[in-house]
Structure 1
Amino acid sequence: MRHPLRLILSAASLLLAATCATPPKDTALAPQDQPRVLMIGLDGLRADLPGKAEAPNLQALAARGVQAEAMYPVMPSKTFVNFYSLATGLYPEHHGMVANAPYDRELDETFTNKTGPQDSRWWGGEPIWITAEKHGLKSAIMFWLGSEAEIEGMHASRWSPYEHEKPYQERVDEVLSWFDGDPADWPRFAAVYFDRVDTAAHYFGPDSPEAAEAVAEVDNYVGQLVEGLKARGLLDTTTIIVVADHGMSLATEDKVIDIGAMLDQDTLIIPQFSGKYGGSPQPFIQVYGDEAAIDTAYQQLKDYNPHIKVWKRGEMPDYYHFDHPTRGPDMFVLAEPGWNVRAVKFGSGGMFMKGVHGYDNHAPDMAATFIGAGPIFPKGEIAKPFENVNVYMMAACALGIPPAPTDGDPAVVAKITGNRCPAN
Structure 2
Amino acid sequence: MTFRILAIAMLTSLVAACSHLRAPSAEPVAAEAPPVVIMVGLDGLRFDAIDRHEAPNLRALAARGTRPERMVSAMPTKTFVNFYTLATGLYPEHHGMVSNSPYDRRLDETFSNSGGSPQDPRWWGGEPIWITAEQQGLRSHIMFWLGSEVEIDGTRPTIWHPYEHEKPYEERIDEVLTWFDAPVAEQPRFAAVYMDHVDTVLHTNGVGTPQEAEAVARVDALVGQLIAGLEARGVMERTTLLIVSDHGMVDVSTERTIMIDTLADLDGLHIDEFASRYSPGPESFIMGYGDEATVERIHAELQDAHPHMTAYRRQDMPEHWHFDHPDRGPDLFVLADPGWLIITSETDPENPYFTSLRATHGFDNLDETMGATFIGAGPIFPQGSRPAAFENVNVYGLIACALDLEPAPTDGSAEEVERITGGRCPAE
TM-score normalised per structure 1: 0.92
Opposite residue 245 of structure 1, the aligned amino acid is: D
1:290-319 deviations in Å (ceiling 9; x for gaps):
111111111111110010011001210000
1:374 corresponds in structure 2 to 378
In structure 1, distance between residues paired with 2:154 and 2:343: 40
Kept in 1, the 8 Å contact 2:36–2:239? The answer is yes
2:17 corresponds in structure 1 to none
Kept in 2, the 8 Å contact 1:32–1:237? The answer is no
1:233-268 deviations in Å (ceiling 9; x for gaps):
111110001000000001111100000235555521
**Identical residues among aligned pairs (%):** 56
- Misfit runs of 4+, over 4 Å: 262-266, 346-350
When structure 1 is superposed on structure 2, of 347-356 and 152-161 the one drifting more is 347-356
In structure 2, distance between residues paired with 1:96 and 1:148: 16
Opposite residue 384 of structure 2, the aligned amino acid is: G
2:53 corresponds in structure 1 to 53
In structure 2, distance between residues paired with 1:398 and 1:252: 43
When structure 1 is superposed on structure 2, of 206-215 and 94-103 the one drifting more is 206-215
1:274-313 equivalent positions in 2, closer than 5 A? 274-313=275-314
1:89-238 equivalent positions in 2, closer than 5 A? 89-114=89-114, 115-238=116-239
Kept in 1, the 8 Å contact 2:98–2:329? The answer is yes
In structure 1, distance between residues paired with 2:70 and 2:403: 24
Kept in 1, the 8 Å contact 2:282–2:347? The answer is no
1:243 corresponds in structure 2 to 244
CA RMSD of aligned residues (A): 1.6
In structure 2, distance between residues paired with 1:385 and 1:266: 41
Shift of 1:77: 0.2
Q: 1:39 aligned to 2:42?
A: no
2:88 corresponds in structure 1 to 88
Opposite residue 423 of structure 1, the aligned amino acid is: A
User: Tell me, which stretches of 5 or more residues in structure 1 are unaligned?
Assistant: 1-12
1:99-129 deviations in Å (ceiling 9; x for gaps):
0000000000011112211111111000000
Kept in 1, the 8 Å contact 2:33–2:184? The answer is no
SS of 1:326 mapped into structure 2: coil
In structure 1, distance between residues paired with 2:303 and 2:266: 18
Kept in 1, the 8 Å contact 2:266–2:298? The answer is no
Kept in 2, the 8 Å contact 1:78–1:99? The answer is yes
Shift of 1:145: 0.5
2:23 corresponds in structure 1 to none
In structure 2, distance between residues paired with 1:152 and 1:208: 45
Opposite residue 189 of structure 1, the aligned amino acid is: F
In structure 1, distance between residues paired with 2:422 and 2:308: 41
Shift of 1:206: 1.7
1:416 corresponds in structure 2 to 420
1:165-210 deviations in Å (ceiling 9; x for gaps):
0011110110000000232210000000111100111000021110
Opposite residue 374 of structure 1, the aligned amino acid is: G
In structure 1, distance between residues paired with 2:206 and 2:196: 15
Q: 1:351 aligned to 2:354?
A: yes
In structure 1, distance between residues paired with 2:123 and 2:422: 36
Kept in 2, the 8 Å contact 1:272–1:278? The answer is no
Opposite residue 110 of structure 1, the aligned amino acid is: T
Distance 1:230 1:310, change over 3 A: same
In structure 2, distance between residues paired with 1:296 and 1:71: 37
SS of 1:33 mapped into structure 2: coil
Shift of 1:351: 2.1
In structure 2, distance between residues paired with 1:31 and 1:174: 25
Kept in 2, the 8 Å contact 1:273–1:346? The answer is no
Distance 1:190 1:32, change over 3 A: farther
User: Tell me, which stretches of 5 or more residues in structure 2 are unaligned?
Assistant: 7-11, 13-28
Opposite residue 107 of structure 1, the aligned amino acid is: L
TM-score normalised per structure 2: 0.91
Kept in 2, the 8 Å contact 1:262–1:297? The answer is no
In structure 1, distance between residues paired with 2:344 and 2:292: 21
Q: State the aligned residue count.
A: 403
1:317 corresponds in structure 2 to 318
Distance 1:421 1:327, change over 3 A: same
1:48-72 deviations in Å (ceiling 9; x for gaps):
0011112000000000000011100
In structure 1, distance between residues paired with 2:107 and 2:155: 23
